[in-house]
Structure 1
Amino acid sequence: MSVPFGVDLGNSNTVIAVARNRGIDVIVNEVSNRSTPSVVGFGPKNRFIGESGKNQQTSNLKNTVDNLKRILGLNFTDPDLKIEERYLTVPVVDKDGQVAVKVRLAGKEEIFTSTQLVGMYLNKIKDIAVKETKGKFTDICLTVPVWYTEQQRRAAHDACRIAGLNPVRIVNEMTAAAVSYGVFKTDLPEDEPKKVVFIDIGHSTYSVSVVAVKKGELKVLGSSSDKHFGGRDFDHAIAEHFADEFITKYKINIRENPKAYSRVLTAAEKLKKVLSANSQAPFNVESIMNDVDVSSQLTRDELEEFVKPLLERVHIPIDQALSAAGLQKEDIDAIEVIGGCTRVPSLKARLSEIFGKPLSFTLNQDEAIARGAAFICAMHSPTLRVRPFKFEDFNPYSVSYFWDKEDEDTDNLEVFPKGGSFPSTKIITLYRSKDFEVEAKYTRPEELPKGSISTPFIAKWFLKGVVLNEGESSIACKLKLRNDPSGFYTIESAYTVEEKEVQELVENPDAKEDDEPEYKTVKKLVKKNDLQIELQTLSLPKKILSEYIEKENSLSQEDKLVADTEDRKNALEEYIYELRGKLDDHYKEFASEDEKAKLQEMLLKAEDWLYDEGYDSSKGKYIAKHEELASIGNVIRGRYLAKEEEKKQALRSQQEAKQAAAMAEKLAAEKAARDAAGTTNSEAEKKEQQSDEKMDEELD
């Protein structure tokens, strides 16, 4: 049985939650952290993903990719790529029109698309969940930013497939947080819904959703985002300040040294966190470049001055979300705040000032989205029972469907307007004379986030199997259009209908029981035949997706082999030192001088080999060396263990003898006590008998 799990794919860190133990648990990774760095690195032998990727990032900048969520689904021509290149340290290239990176893996140059990179990362996330819970993971609910377009959502879906996962739902991050709030908050009203604003300011994005929530259900009324507002912007503001300062103070330019700038960015992030709790903090980086140690300090007031342009934009997404929801600030009952960047005091103060009321921190700022996603995934599970909860999301963009005009009055229709709710289904009727095509596009591309998309195209459907009735020039075709739970636009079904005469019962409320029923002949549209639907979407073609899945499986096996080889190497090294130490101690009496000399020589040769030509050897050779040493070492160890067993047996025998003696002594004492008691009773009976005889004599 697959364990439902939700993944909050963060731009800096990712949180995993699973539905189990009658609740939602957050999974820790291999170093017991509750979040995992969203990083993929490539090395001379294998990949470094998550914690290991973060650890080697500074020393391997040109082969380490972060900001995965920002480049997922981008076209190479999208203007946003120019912004993202500021944060990337790897060469970005074009692969079939998509953003890709050029890296070196195992000595070879490789090109991976953004979808592949996220697929690699999700495979690692799945592996973490499997190792921590020992469960089977197939179904996933993955969260994405509310501003993601169809192309980006399709890329997220494909990335899950590459990782061997079944994405039961792609859900907006803010909606997942709202679900977490609605499901686990116990004091929600049952009639009139509570109006709650959810604000999430994370590593790279600032999002707002206005939600009406009551017991058992919620509806997202409006959403908005500033996708270039987050913690990384604060970090860069700090780094740029110190870059300028170091030019004057130390005569070094860290902008010319990627490693130096990366180290300053890392230190800037730590400084930002310290300033969230303190009014000032020191800043130190040793040997930053050219053997120069740098030191400085920063105050909270100075930081607020650096990010003043950001703070002046805080109100914009809030105003836009409230406008989409048709509400005023006075209508809001609570402001729930999540996201790591909201710990910055100036941001919290600005948000509270905008609403004129205190902020609420009911939800866990780092884990709320993952918990909501895990619950949503559990809702889709056929084996788990969860409390009923209904929710509807907000459609941020208007979508129209287009077709050839033929006999129609128009060639398009806005089917899913901006501000509508989804999932949603609409049925339209077209009169067609032959097989036809339907295309979905964004109605107003100018409403899309600036810089994120090059084309308004969403999907195209080829509908085949149109058969006309004799003597007719066209036939009615009904199309069931759907904006599904993951936000994808589809044609769920299509079929032709024809007009037929049918007998329909006449309703007669005055009829008696024995009256004959009356029927009338009416004309009705009835289904004639289903149409075949061929789909062209922004998802990866099946052939390419299969290639990517095969590539990921191959890379995973290579990573596993490298890890197993390293484990065998470490085991051999440990065995050499352990056996050498015990030869002069525990095993001293159990090996002849010849055996000791031979084994010592073998250990020395094995050690020399291990640190020379065997330093980078194969798994099989490490196993062979280990077995070679063990062929003698285990014989000596066996003698030692046999002697130890004899000692244990002798000790057990002594303990058993002592216990037997103690028991015999105890039984003897008990018998003596019983015998003494028996003698006393006999004397008393004898005296009583003599007394009775004397009394009888007196009576006579």
Structure 2
Amino acid sequence: MSVVGCDFGSLNTVIAVARNRGVDVITNEVSNRATPSLVGFGPKSRYIGEAAKTQEISNIKNTVSSLTRLAGRNFKDPDIQIEQEYISAPLVEVNGQVGVEVTYLGQKEKFTGTQLMAMYFTKVKQIASAELKLPVHDIVLSCPAWYTDAQRRSILDAADIAGLKLLRLMNDTTAVALGYGITKVDLPSGPDEKPKRVAFVDIGHSNYTCSIVEFKKGELAVKSTACDRHFGGRNFDTALVEHFQKEFKEKFKIDINENPKARFRVLAACEKLKKILSANASAPINIESLMNDVDVRGFLKREELEELMQPLLDRATKPIEQALADAKLKIEDIDTIEMVGGCTRVPSLKNAIQNYFGRPLSFTLNQDEAAARGCAFSCAILSPVFRVRDFSVHDIVNYPIEFTWEKSPDIPDEDTSLTVFNKGNTLPSTKILTFYRKQPFDLEARYAKPEQLPGKINPWIGRFSVKGVKADSKDDFMICKLKARLNLHGILNVESGYYVEEVEVEEPVPEPPKEGKKDGDAMDTDAPNGASTPKTKKVKKQQRKGDLPLAAGTASLDQSSKDAAAEKENSMAMEDKLVADTEDKKNELESYIYELRNKIDEQYSEFASDEEKEKIRAKCESSEDWLYDEGEDATKAVYISKIEEIRAVAGPVVQRYLDKIELERQAVLQKQEEEQAKKRAELAEKVQLEHEAKKAAEPKDADMKDAAEPEVEEPEEKS
């Protein structure tokens, strides 16, 4: 059974697995510990991860990045228009969701954000399976803390389409906190001890999140979380690109905004420049033949970079201030400030946060891998395969959720809305809602404060219809109970419904102890015959009588849509595998031609006549000409048949060579056997000689012994 944790980031994804000796971050097919979060489309197959990265510039219009930013979003959301600045593929509307339009297999295709994530999760599954040498099903994924119900459902659907069972969808900083706390042995344990408070500051490629977490032995509780959705490494990169765009336009008379590929090359160079300036005072930038055959060069000092970043640096402490305010804490209440995320390496950003707290920051966690490790720990806790130290995780509700319903005609003064889950409530959480009704009814769940949601996401969460409701025999209300639950993923569902009836039952009334009575006294004997009559009272209690059928409409895909998407994903995966296998056979044919051509003049030379050599060379030459002409785009079966054709021509020569090798091997084996037999005979002869020598020496020793012993006479007895 697999135990996999995945930090699904907007730039890169890190995969960790739990093993008996702990948690390991695994590498992909090119031995990198982080896999680019990219999906590309080509004329024959898809490119996912590293394959998409290698052809990103040449296939810029068909490569999709920032997958996490597309989950569960509507095309009209203002945030989506911002994302188009960072995603090179054109964004379009697909069935009400945001998606992309790309050229795949020579045709225009549209894919939703959910489908794109499912494609990427298929790659994650392949990487983990290759490392673990077994099928991967169970996984824990991380997501930004600001995700809404619709976005979380989108990731859940994508995992289902990819054939993964999502055990838990964790907020990024919560996963980091779990990885931090589960290994600590010095956490407060007593009920009167003050909990350890840690501020986790996570600044990645596109998100800035701060969570205040309290730790006690065996548990963590998130007290508050605040986010800035548009603060991260890509914003610093964009500031640099805009700077050099103006500089190159002035110096070299070229405008990179007119050429998407040129702008992308400058973006890649600026990302490297930013990293260099994190450790150096200045750095150059050089790009050959950027556009119009013009070479460009530039130079930047760290002070200039910080000046460009100043608008962002002015916002550097806003999420921290908000998180502290929501947790009702002060700076001095925080014991440790733990920094994670690649962007926290920027010196000016670290200084801004350190100056705000007035104390050194902590970097004890791996900034790039902490979330993935926390997810792997969570998966191990939820999996029956591992025994892990008990550790409870209490996350919180980030947006208040309310239920609304139509007013009952029989209850004219009834309220029609109720905030059921308030911001800061513990997650997971269950609430029981009670309704008095005589007929079926509907209720809707929505976010109570839409202005707090990211962008202008629709605050609607779901609509739930309660069936089977009717008045009782006395035309009284049916008492309906609905179980609303925010689960481990942060997703809201009305899980079940049932109705109850009020019945009168008698309960004993506890009597107060009489004055003067001591513990251990015999029972009271005031009642006749010494019997005591306990007092009772009638009370009304609710008893469950039956279930109420429910119908739900949410942002999740229905089962038929998921099945269709899974079938399409499987067919595309099979197409990718066929293309990869075909490419392998093509490479095998090419390698075999070169190998045979060399060997016919070397190893196989003495085993082939001149006529056979000429025939083999001619076959190799014709096959090579075919390979680089008509065979450039052949099928897997054709490449296999071409290999077999060459083997048929070269087979007799190769067989003679192999026969000689076999004869030589047999001769060597025979020689070794003869040597071993000779050694065994020599050893046996040596043992025999030693035995005979020992036997010959035994009588001689006995004679010497007899000669050496003196005779002893017994004394005569005197009478």
Mapping of 1:360-375 within 5 angstroms? 360-375=362-377
Task: Verify: 1:66 aligned to 2:65, yes or no.
Answer: yes
Q: 1:604 to 1:221 in 2, by over 3 A?
A: same
**Secondary structure at 2:182's aligned position in 1?**
helix
Q: 1:362 to 1:497 in 2, by over 3 A?
A: same
Number of the residue aligned with 2:576: 559
Number of the residue aligned with 1:536: 553
Instruction: Report the more deviating stretch, 672-681 or 67-76.
Output: 672-681
Q: 1:422 to 1:685 in 2, by over 3 A?
A: closer
Number of the residue aligned with 2:252: 250
Number of the residue aligned with 1:350: 352
Task: Verify: 1:86 aligned to 2:105, yes or no.
Answer: no
Number of the residue aligned with 2:485: 482
Rounded to whole Å, the distance in 2 between the matches of 1:508 and 1:691 is 112
Q: Displacement of 1:508 after TM fit?
A: 5.5
Aligned residues: 693
Rounded to whole Å, the distance in 1 between the matches of 2:223 and 2:602 is 75
Number of the residue aligned with 2:440: 435
Q: Displacement of 1:516 after TM fit?
A: 7.1
Number of the residue aligned with 1:135: 134
- Give CA deviations for 1:430-481 in whole Å, capped at 9, x if unaligned: 11110000101111111223x251x211111001011321122422111222
Number of the residue aligned with 1:120: 119
Contact 1:197 1:335 in 2 (8 A): yes
Q: Displacement of 1:521 after TM fit?
A: 4.2
Task: Verify: 1:596 aligned to 2:604, yes or no.
Answer: no
Mapping of 1:158-169 within 5 angstroms? 158-169=157-168
Instruction: Report the more deviating stretch, 585-594 or 348-357.
Output: 585-594
**Secondary structure at 1:377's aligned position in 2?**
helix
Letter in 2 for 1:226: D
Q: TM-score, normalised by structure 2?
A: 0.92
Rounded to whole Å, the distance in 1 between the matches of 2:686 and 2:383 is 70
Q: 1:690 to 1:361 in 2, by over 3 A?
A: closer
Instruction: Report the more deviating stretch, 473-482 or 349-358.
Output: 473-482
**Secondary structure at 2:299's aligned position in 1?**
strand
Identity %: 51
Rounded to whole Å, the distance in 2 between the matches of 1:687 and 1:457 is 115
Number of the residue aligned with 1:393: 395
Q: Displacement of 1:161 after TM fit?
A: 1.2
Q: Displacement of 1:175 after TM fit?
A: 0.6
- Give CA deviations for 1:241-269 in whole Å, capped at 9, x if unaligned: 11111111111111111111101111111
Q: 1:378 to 1:257 in 2, by over 3 A?
A: same
Task: Verify: 1:499 aligned to 2:502, yes or no.
Answer: yes
Number of the residue aligned with 2:219: 217
Number of the residue aligned with 1:29: 28
Q: TM-score, normalised by structure 1?
A: 0.94
Rounded to whole Å, the distance in 2 between the matches of 1:132 and 1:676 is 65
**Secondary structure at 2:186's aligned position in 1?**
coil
Q: Aligned match of 1:523 in 540, 547, 559?
A: 540
Letter in 2 for 1:558: E
Gaps of 5+ in 2: 514-522, 525-529, 711-719
Rounded to whole Å, the distance in 1 between the matches of 2:659 and 2:47 is 45
Task: Verify: 1:459 aligned to 2:458, yes or no.
Answer: no
Rounded to whole Å, the distance in 1 between the matches of 2:187 and 2:539 is 51
Q: Displacement of 1:4 after TM fit?
A: 2.1
Mapping of 1:261-660 within 5 angstroms? 261-406=263-408, 407=411, 409-449=414-454, 451-453=455-457, 455-507=458-510, 520-660=537-677
Contact 1:504 1:521 in 2 (8 A): yes
- Give CA deviations for 1:562-596 in whole Å, capped at 9, x if unaligned: 00111111111111221222222212233344433
Contact 2:197 2:212 in 1 (8 A): yes
Q: Displacement of 1:684 after TM fit?
A: 8.1
Contact 2:237 2:271 in 1 (8 A): yes
Contact 1:339 1:365 in 2 (8 A): yes
Rounded to whole Å, the distance in 1 between the matches of 2:572 and 2:74 is 25
Instruction: Report the more deviating stretch, 597-606 or 673-682.
Output: 673-682
Rounded to whole Å, the distance in 1 between the matches of 2:694 and 2:388 is 72
Q: 1:661 to 1:456 in 2, by over 3 A?
A: closer
Q: Displacement of 1:409 after TM fit?
A: 2.4
**Secondary structure at 2:59's aligned position in 1?**
helix
Q: Displacement of 1:533 after TM fit?
A: 0.9
Q: Displacement of 1:654 after TM fit?
A: 2.5
Instruction: Report the more deviating stretch, 61-70 or 136-145.
Output: 136-145
Number of the residue aligned with 2:174: 175
Rounded to whole Å, the distance in 1 between the matches of 2:492 and 2:649 is 69
Q: Displacement of 1:279 after TM fit?
A: 0.7
Rounded to whole Å, the distance in 2 between the matches of 1:211 and 1:281 is 39
**Secondary structure at 1:136's aligned position in 2?**
coil
Letter in 1 for 2:18: A
Q: Displacement of 1:132 after TM fit?
A: 1.3
Letter in 1 for 2:327: A
Instruction: Report the more deviating stretch, 494-503 or 295-304.
Output: 494-503
Contact 1:77 1:97 in 2 (8 A): no
Q: 1:228 to 1:681 in 2, by over 3 A?
A: same
**Secondary structure at 1:59's aligned position in 2?**
coil
- Give CA deviations for 1:208-246 in whole Å, capped at 9, x if unaligned: 000111211011101101110000011111111111111
Instruction: Report the more deviating stretch, 107-116 or 470-479.
Output: 470-479
Contact 1:433 1:466 in 2 (8 A): yes
Instruction: Report the more deviating stretch, 512-521 or 499-508.
Output: 512-521
Number of the residue aligned with 1:8: 7
Task: Verify: 1:39 aligned to 2:41, yes or no.
Answer: no
Contact 1:93 1:101 in 2 (8 A): yes
Rounded to whole Å, the distance in 2 between the matches of 1:479 and 1:124 is 40
Letter in 1 for 2:653: I
Q: 1:549 to 1:675 in 2, by over 3 A?
A: closer
Contact 1:4 1:377 in 2 (8 A): yes
**Secondary structure at 2:505's aligned position in 1?**
strand
Rounded to whole Å, the distance in 1 between the matches of 2:477 and 2:505 is 22
Q: Displacement of 1:25 after TM fit?
A: 1.5
Contact 2:437 2:470 in 1 (8 A): no
Q: Displacement of 1:655 after TM fit?
A: 3.2
Rounded to whole Å, the distance in 2 between the matches of 1:365 and 1:689 is 91
Letter in 2 for 1:493: S
- Give CA deviations for 1:139-186 in whole Å, capped at 9, x if unaligned: 221111111111111111111112111112111111111111111123
Q: 1:689 to 1:123 in 2, by over 3 A?
A: closer
- Give CA deviations for 1:14-44 in whole Å, capped at 9, x if unaligned: 0011122242121110011111000111111
Rounded to whole Å, the distance in 2 between the matches of 1:669 and 1:155 is 82
Instruction: Report the more deviating stretch, 682-691 or 363-372.
Output: 682-691
Rounded to whole Å, the distance in 2 between the matches of 1:443 and 1:598 is 82
**Secondary structure at 1:211's aligned position in 2?**
strand
Contact 1:74 1:452 in 2 (8 A): no
**Secondary structure at 1:184's aligned position in 2?**
coil
Q: Aligned match of 1:232 in 224, 231, 234?
A: 234
Q: 1:166 to 1:685 in 2, by over 3 A?
A: closer
**Secondary structure at 1:255's aligned position in 2?**
helix
Rounded to whole Å, the distance in 2 between the matches of 1:5 and 1:672 is 68
Number of the residue aligned with 1:107: 106
Contact 1:188 1:215 in 2 (8 A): yes
Number of the residue aligned with 1:696: none
Number of the residue aligned with 1:200: 202
Q: 1:24 to 1:666 in 2, by over 3 A?
A: closer
Q: Displacement of 1:427 after TM fit?
A: 1.5
**Secondary structure at 1:283's aligned position in 2?**
strand
**Secondary structure at 2:353's aligned position in 1?**
helix
RMSD: 2.4
Instruction: Report the more deviating stretch, 156-165 or 28-37.
Output: 156-165
Contact 2:397 2:426 in 1 (8 A): yes
